[in-house]
Amino acid sequence: MNFRRIFLVKCLLLLFPSAKCAVTKWIYVPVNDSVHLSVSAAGSIHQATWMRDKKLLQIKDMITKYYVNKDQCRCKIFLNGTLQIEQLVKNDSGKYTVLVYGQDGKLKTEEDTMLIVQEPVPQPNLSVGCVNGSVLVTCEGKQKTKDHMFIIEVMQDKIKKIQRNTTKVEFYTHYSGMFRCVVKNQVSEKTAEKKIKCSGQLDLYLILIIAGGAVFFVFMILLIYCIRKKRAERLEEDDERMMQIRQVDTEMMVQELPQLPSNPSLKQPRMQQRPLPQPQTQQQAVPPQPRPRTQQRTPNRPREGP
Ligand SMILES: *[C@@H]1O[C@H](CO)[C@@H](O)[C@H](O)[C@H]1NC(C)=O
Ligand SMILES: *[C@@H]1O[C@H](CO)[C@@H](O)[C@H](O)[C@H]1NC(C)=O
Ligand SMILES: *[C@@H]1O[C@H](CO)[C@@H](O)[C@H](O)[C@H]1NC(C)=O
Ligand SMILES: *[C@@H]1O[C@H](CO)[C@@H](O)[C@H](O)[C@H]1NC(C)=O
Ligand SMILES: *[C@@H]1O[C@H](CO)[C@@H](O)[C@H](O)[C@H]1NC(C)=O
Ligand SMILES: *[C@@H]1O[C@H](CO)[C@@H](O)[C@H](O)[C@H]1NC(C)=O
């Protein structure tokens, strides 16, 4: 990122109108491999110079000129400007810049390439064991790779654990079956697989089914209880309604009675019976009535006294 920014600033500062600003390329190569760093500028190359901090080599008019020791650099340049480096070592990692000049000696283009030389990842050591009814999974890379990304994935069924920048992954799981550990970086990938079935390990699906059954059972009991309670409440409501209907009937009878020429002595006992079956709200409304009477009586007494 820093390189890119510096390069952009460089590009803006360049006064050559024909100079193109190319984005930095990233190339990952394993150690001991060889690599070709190419020039993307179109057309035949008249003159090209490769640099890594300092000048490495140049091709001009089809003649190669070395600025460094040829054997140490392990490099050569092709007519099309491509730089080749053989038997790469980690030390070869870094930013390589090529400057391409036109026939008139003016800079045509400047291109940056980031070369990253990586060690191939080590073969992982995957071990799986049964501990207290669960599976202990351990995946370990034998050697550490400090400078570059190192990924260990442990896959079993549909679970995937990814950890970066580590050499060891360890965890417990209730699943059993196939386990796979993959260690990879940009240039290589290695896999280890193991299968395990712990005896005495409760199957998770069985646990789920039992738990689900228990929940369903409790739910059904609650449902039945609620239905019964509702039914009982409804019956009570019906009884109350019946009582109210009966009450209305008696009221009707009472209202009809005075119109009939009959004995008034019958009217009184029925009027007294009326408040009894009425709801509590009316019964509660009755007691406050005597209070004003007592309050009226108390102020009356002092008046009567003198
Ligand atoms: C590097 O590669 C060469 C062949 O390309 C091989 O002979 C040599 O053993 C390799 N060295 C290492 C350290 O892998
Ligand atoms: C440049 O030339 C070399 C050798 O002839 C060839 O391997 C490489 O593919 C060429 N690269 C481009 C970008 O044409
Ligand atoms: C390569 O690495 C060695 C030691 O590991 C170091 O002495 C040497 O300077 C490095 N060369 C470059 C070009 O970085
Ligand atoms: C893998 O790990 C197990 C236990 O951690 C150990 O016994 C075994 O020797 C290791 N194997 C290798 C090839 O490193
Ligand atoms: C297994 O369980 C027993 C008792 O529950 C405990 O003492 C023991 O430490 C456990 N072992 C491991 C490796 O967790
Ligand atoms: C891995 O570690 C290196 C240095 O130890 C660090 O630069 C890099 O950012 C780390 N990568 C991740 C993904 O954590």
DSSP 3-state of 242: helix
* Model pLDDT, residue 144: 62
H helices present in 172-274, as ranges: 204-259, 267-273
Beta carbon of 192 within 6 Å of any ligand 4 atom: no
CB 6 within 8 A of CB 21: no
**In a mutational test of the pocket of ligand 2, which residue from 34, 35, 38, 100 has the highest number of ligand atoms less than 8 Å from its CB?**
38
Ligand with minimal distance to 42 CA: 2
Nearest to 27 by CA among 12, 42, 37, 19: 37
Ligand 5 centre to CA of 244 (Å) is: 70
Helix (H/G/I), strand (E/B), else coil: 248: helix
Q: How far is the CA of 90 from the centre of ligand 3 (A)?
A: 9
CA 36, 42, 44 angle in degrees (round to 5)?
Answer: 85
Is residue 101 lining ligand 2, measured as CB closer than 6 Å? no
| 80 within ligand 2 shell (Cβ under 6 A) | yes
pLDDT for the residue 101: 92
Compute CA distances 110 → 39, 139, 202, whole Å: 9, 45, 65
Q: Are 250 and 270 in contact (CB under 8 A)?
A: yes
Ligand 4 atom with least separation from CA of 142? 14
Q: How many Å apart are CA 256 and CA 250, to the nearest integer? A: 10
Q: Which residues contact 47 (CB under 8 A, 6 or more apart)?
A: 58, 59, 60, 61, 100, 101, 102, 105
Does any ligand 2 atom lie closer than 6 A to the CB of residue 82?
A: yes
Please report the pLDDT score of residue 66 as a whole number: 96
Beta strands in 61-106 (DSSP E): 63-66, 75-77, 83-85, 94-101
Main-chain dihedrals φ then ψ at residue 237, nearest 5 degrees? -60, -40
> pLDDT (tens digit, 0 to 9) for every residue of the chain, 306 residues total?
444 444 444 444 444 444 455 568 999 999 999 999 999 877 778 899 999 999 999 999 999 999 999 999 999 999 989 999 999 999 999 999 999 998 888 898 899 999 999 888 888 999 999 888 788 989 988 766 565 567 778 777 677 888 877 788 888 888 778 888 988 888 888 999 998 887 765 566 677 888 888 888 888 999 988 889 888 888 788 777 777 766 656 565 555 555 555 454 544 444 444 544 444 444 444 444 444 444 444 444 444 444
Nearest protein CA to atom 8 of ligand 4, as residue: 125
